[in-house]
Amino acid sequence: MKVKKNKKDKTGKMQVIHDKLISLKESPLYEYRTSNNYFPVIGEGSLDARIVFVGEAPGRNEAKTGKPFCGTAGKVLDKLLNHVGLSREKIYITNIVKDRPPENRDPTPKEIEVYGPLLDKQFEIIKPKVVVALGRYAMGYIMTKFGLGDALEPIGKAHGKIYKAKNLDVITLYHPCVAVYNPHNLPNLLKDFEVLKKYIK
Ligand code: URA
C-alpha cells in the first residue's frame, strides 16, 4: 500500500503546482495565455521518473493542447528518445517557462524568475537522478540551481556533457529545435543523446 500512497501524494502535490500555474497572474505571459485561450503546460510523464527533461517554453501546439513537445520539436524529441530506447512514459518532460511566449520569442529573465520556483517544486516531487537540460535557457537555470554555475559554458561547448551535482547528474543537450531549423544537425543530436544510455536500465 505504501507505493500507492506515494503515488497519490505525488499526484496531489503536482496538482497543487498545476493550480498555482493556472492562476499565475504575476506572470508576464498570463494575459497572453488567457486572451488567446491557451493552456499552461505543466509537464507530462512519470512522477517516479529517474530522468527529467527540461525544455524552454511551450510553442503554439503545446499551448493549444496543454501538452509538452507535441509539435515539430516534439517529433524530433521522440526520434531522439527512441534512438536510446527511452519512451515518454518512463521519463518526465517539462519546460522552464510554462506558458507560450508570443511569437515563440526567447524567454525573458523575468519569465524564468516567475516560473523557476514551479520547476523547483517539480524536482522536489519527482526527485530525479538525472536532469536533462534541452537548450541554453534550461541549461543556465538548472546548472545554477544545482550549484554548477561556475562550470557554465556556451551550449556549443556544453552539449553532450555530464555534470555531477550533489544528488544528481545534469546533462546538457542542444534543444531539439536545432534539427527543425536545420535537419543536417540531427546526426549530431542523435550522437549526443547516446550519453543517456548509461542511465537506462
Ligand atoms: N519547445 C520547448 O522548449 N518546449 C516545448 O514544450 C515545445 C517546444
129 CA from centroid of ligand 1 (Å): 22
Domain span at residue 61 reads 2-199
Which atom of ligand 1 approaches the CA of 67 most closely? 6
C-alpha cell at 171: 546533462
- Domains of the chain: total: 1
Average pLDDT in the 136-142 region?
98
pTM over cut 0.75: yes
Distance (Å) of CA 104 to CA 54, 95, 100: 17, 13, 7
Tell me what percent of the chain is helix, strand and coil, each rounded to the nearest 5. 50, 10, 35
* Predicted pLDDT at 2: 55
Is residue 144's pLDDT more than 80?
Answer: yes
| Residue 201 buriedness (CB in 10 A; 0-12 / 13-18 / 19+) | exposed
Average pLDDT, the chain: 96
- Alpha-carbon distance of 112 to 118, in angstroms, equals 10
pLDDT tens for each residue of 24-80 = 999 999 999 999 999 999 999 999 999 999 999 999 999 999 999 999 999 999 999
Q: Residue 43 maps to which CATH number?
A: 3.40.470.10
183 CA from centroid of ligand 1 (Å): 17
